[in-house]
Structure 1
Amino acid sequence: MISSELDAAGVTEPSLREAYRQCRDVNAAHGKTFFLATRLLTPRQRPAVHALYGFARGADDILDQFDDRDVEQRADELQQLSKKLFAGLVQDEPCDDNPTLTAVVDTARKYDISWDLFDDFLASMRMDLTVTDYPDRKSLEQYMYGSAEVIGLQMLPVLGTVGPREEAAPYAAALGKAFQLTNFLRDVDEDLRRGRVYLPADELAAHGVDRDRLLWCQREGRVDDRVRAALAEQHAITRGVYEQARPGIDVLAACSRPCVAAALTLYSEILDRIETIDFEIFGRRATVGKPRRLAVAVAGLGKAWASRVRSGSA
């Protein structure tokens, strides 16, 4: 399967093919919902998406893996990653010692994805080294632009659009933000263990909630009424962002719509799950079950195949 995808994408050089294979393996192992959605893309699009995922995952692992590295060590690793990416993408130097960078640089060149989008992403990753709380939504939005919105913007050239790319950009950015806001809600418990809260402090405070109250819930393994009300408000805000993003599906190239529609459906159903468990997100993880994920994928496959038949790319 992977060989046919690489053939379709025009990747022929053996070491480059291996670099893309490694990115695909990372995506399959760590981003199961996202990986399932990529199966709805055309074979030629998939390697590029896997490369973008692999790069983002690698940067995230520098920050979030539970090990004995201190902040200075993580900062140095992130800086080295940034330097190597800049050297490869802007200065045309080889990235032979890093297969993920090799693949993502090739993708960025092929699809004209600018260095600025990667630089903005890495700037938000650096924020995670020292920033543990966000006083208001404006400060959180600043972080999310680099950590989530630019991911949607990086993906846009790979997905393709029916009109000018800049018209589709706000929708792509909104979808990246919606996905991340969903993760913030689902992962409050896990993020607290890393010392972080990704919910605006002033909006929590309006319900009488602060970090100490969240830590109390974590210790008790349950939410109280104040935290439940605060999470419900964040839940509603996230729903609104999905609605902002949804019209963007229609401005994508037809071959990409089933994939993005499936991803939107599955991620928004994580919100359904959070609501179903009455916001009891401590000690449990809201997930969409495998049967449901497969059902959405099967439905999407039918639409993807029909699209390819119409375009003559089946």
Structure 2
Amino acid sequence: MNRTNLVLSARASIERGSKSFARASKLFAPQTRERAWLLYFWCRACDDLADGQDHGHGMSTVTNPDKTIAAMRMMTTRAHGGEQTGNPPFDAFGVVAQECGIPKRLADDMIDGFALDARGWRPETRDDLLQYCYHVAGTVGCMMAVVMGVSARNHDLLDRACDLGLAFQLANIARDVAEDAAAGRCYLPQEWLAEAGLESDHVMDPDQREALVTLVARLCDLAADYEASARVGAAQLPFRSRWAVLAAAGIYGDIARAVKASNGGSLDHRIFTSKGQKLGWIMKAFGQAVVNSARSDRAGLWTRDRLA
């Protein structure tokens, strides 16, 4: 499949898999937009392979997860090296990796996150949770920064890009507590559960709902901290990229804010943002991108330097 057709397939994938990201991506300059779609195409495919999903929907049991992860690594390595794999999402990654110089270690780190899920890993501490969020989402933030022209040696700005990925993933985890529990997963740190008197295999126990709602709110507050940090990094990007990043931060940040405001409602029904809210953030982010005045230090935030 040539580059043009890969871009068309990638666009269809992001429009099906994430309306929030699809809408924000349209704010990028044309070349950056195409590259963002190509990267998303591969990320979405890897996530779907790991979870037995179709564009993030319908989680099912993966028969041989270790074999799936090994195949993912093999195709990613081949694509990153410039080989054709015959698998469009991986070939899309090969194109954008070659064009932008995406470091292979970031791709490897992302797949390491799926390997954690494959072996039924659960976080013991808050740092464990944040390291997992780095693997499955912070890496994507770093790769997107490279796609937007950030040097892979600009560690300070990559840390801010990583923060946006952490914010997104923490919002996802807060929103999906009930869905994850149904699939036998729990991403709430064991130390948090112990403090609240909860057990990871019984987080949905009706008698413990109040304690669980408190922990979900704690996740949402953590997401807000990383969103604020990421906004500072966005200030260093070209205008259209800054606008797109700020719009995505607002749209996804609203998910965490809505989950917290639901006071447990997210445990009963899926939280989402409306088309009107998304459009509202696109307009609001334009103003924020023009003013470009975000300020926040990273004191106390998890950093990639803590990787084991």
Name the counterpart of 1:192: 181
Name the counterpart of 2:249: 264
Q: Using the alignment, how far apart are the partners of 1:145 and 1:298 within structure 2?
A: 29
* Alignment pair present for 1:28 and 2:15: yes
Cα deviation, residue 50, structure 1: 0.7
Question: What pairs up with 1:271-282 in 2 under 5 angstroms?
Answer: 271-282=256-267
Q: Using the alignment, how far apart are the partners of 2:26 and 2:199 within structure 1?
A: 41
* Alignment pair present for 1:59 and 2:49: no
Name the counterpart of 1:202: 191
Quickly say closer, same or farther: Cα 1:67–1:262, change in 2 above 3 A. closer
Quickly say closer, same or farther: Cα 1:63–1:88, change in 2 above 3 A. closer
Cα deviation, residue 81, structure 1: 2.2
Cα deviation, residue 296, structure 1: 2.0
Over aligned residues, Cα RMSD in angstroms?
2.6
* Alignment pair present for 1:93 and 2:68: no
Q: Using the alignment, how far apart are the partners of 2:135 and 2:150 within structure 1?
A: 22
Among 159, 162, 165, the residue aligned to 1:176: 165
- Verify the 8 A CA contact 2:258 2:271 in the aligned structure 1: yes
Cα deviation, residue 79, structure 1: 1.4
Greater C-alpha radius of gyration: 1
Q: How many residues align?
A: 287
Cα deviation, residue 298, structure 1: 4.3
Secondary structure of the structure 2 residue equivalent to 1:251? coil
- Verify the 8 A CA contact 2:42 2:90 in the aligned structure 1: yes
Letter in structure 2 aligned against 1:142: Q
* Alignment pair present for 1:142 and 2:131: yes
Cα deviation, residue 78, structure 1: 2.5
- Verify the 8 A CA contact 2:50 2:68 in the aligned structure 1: no
- Verify the 8 A CA contact 2:79 2:93 in the aligned structure 1: no
Name the counterpart of 2:113: 124
Q: Using the alignment, how far apart are the partners of 2:13 and 2:66 within structure 1?
A: 23
Secondary structure of the structure 1 residue equivalent to 2:235? helix
* Alignment pair present for 1:284 and 2:269: yes
Quickly say closer, same or farther: Cα 1:304–1:36, change in 2 above 3 A. farther
Identity between Structure 1 and Structure 2 (%): 26
Q: Using the alignment, how far apart are the partners of 1:139 and 1:87 within structure 2?
A: 30
Name the counterpart of 1:115: 104
Quickly say closer, same or farther: Cα 1:163–1:30, change in 2 above 3 A. closer
- Verify the 8 A CA contact 2:220 2:257 in the aligned structure 1: no
Quickly say closer, same or farther: Cα 1:125–1:212, change in 2 above 3 A. closer
Cα deviation, residue 127, structure 1: 1.1
Cα deviation, residue 279, structure 1: 2.7
Cα deviation, residue 302, structure 1: 8.0
Q: Which runs of 5+ in 2 are unaligned?
A: 293-308
- Verify the 8 A CA contact 1:162 1:251 in the aligned structure 2: no
Q: Using the alignment, how far apart are the partners of 1:81 and 1:224 within structure 2?
A: 38
Over residues 138-192 of structure 1, what are the superposed CA-to-partner deviations in whole Å (9 max), with x where a residue is unaligned? 2223322211111111011222359973331110011110110000000111111
Range 42-51 or range 288-297, more displaced: 288-297
* Alignment pair present for 1:40 and 2:27: yes
Secondary structure of the structure 2 residue equivalent to 1:224? helix
Cα deviation, residue 68, structure 1: 6.5
- Verify the 8 A CA contact 1:214 1:227 in the aligned structure 2: yes
TM-score of the aligned structures, taking structure 1 as reference length: 0.84
